[in-house]
Amino acid sequence: MLRTALRQSSRLLTSSMRPAVFTGVRVFPSMSVAPQMAFGGRFYSSGGPPSKADIEGRIVELLKGFDKIADPSKISATSHFSNDLGLDSLDTVEVVMAIEEEFSVEIPDKEADAIQSVGQAVDYIASQPGAV
């Protein structure tokens, strides 16, 4: 099984290395937010659960690091991911996953589907006792 797995993964890598694939550098969510996460984690987690203002600030910061947003000046506490920031449905999945990582929570599919704006994300995270 391992051998098959290795073969498969190397095939995956080889095919993704074809030049045509590189239409633009796409940053993996976990990598694009990593520096902020390391900083935010230390900075915010010392004094209990984050406040709504903290959550909002961290989500806005995280979005600023997301390279798909054409106009970062439109990022605010009320931005809608697709209507205001021009993100498509796949981008929205990536943003929500980056938010999960930022606050160390796992959002179930149903709730994740409902998060389409900064405000909804803030409300969801604020409702999670495990968020840090």
Partner 1 sequence: MSVIHAYRALLRAAQAAFQGDSKLLLASHREIRMRFERNLDSSSADDKEEKVKHAFEVAKFLKQNLVQAEKIDGQENFKLRLRDETERGDNESIKTPLKGRVGKLEKCS
Binding site for partner 1 (CB under 8 A): 1-2, 4-5, 8-9, 12-13, 15-17, 21, 26, 28-31, 89-90, 93-94, 97, 109, 112-113
How many residues does the structure list for the chain? 132
Compare residues 12 and 53 and give the one whose CB is closer to partner 1. 12
88 in active site = yes
Question: What is the SS3 assignment for 92?
Answer: helix
Cβ 73 to partner 1 shortest distance, Å: 25
Task: Determine the Cα–Cα distance for residues 97 and 107; give it in Å rounded to an integer.
Answer: 8
Catalytic, out of 71, 84, 88, 91? 88
CB of 54 to partner 1, least distance (A): 25
Measured from the CB atom, the residue of 54 and 91 that comes closer to partner 1 is 91
Query: Among residues 68 and 84, whose Cβ is nearest to partner 1?
Result: 68
Question: What are the start-end ranges of the H helices in 17-88?
Answer: 29-32, 34-44, 52-64
3-state secondary structure of 80: strand
Counting Cα atoms < 13 Å in the Cβ hemisphere of 129 gives 0
In the numeric block, which tokens belong to residue 58?
A: 């961290």
Q: Catalytic amino acids? A: 88
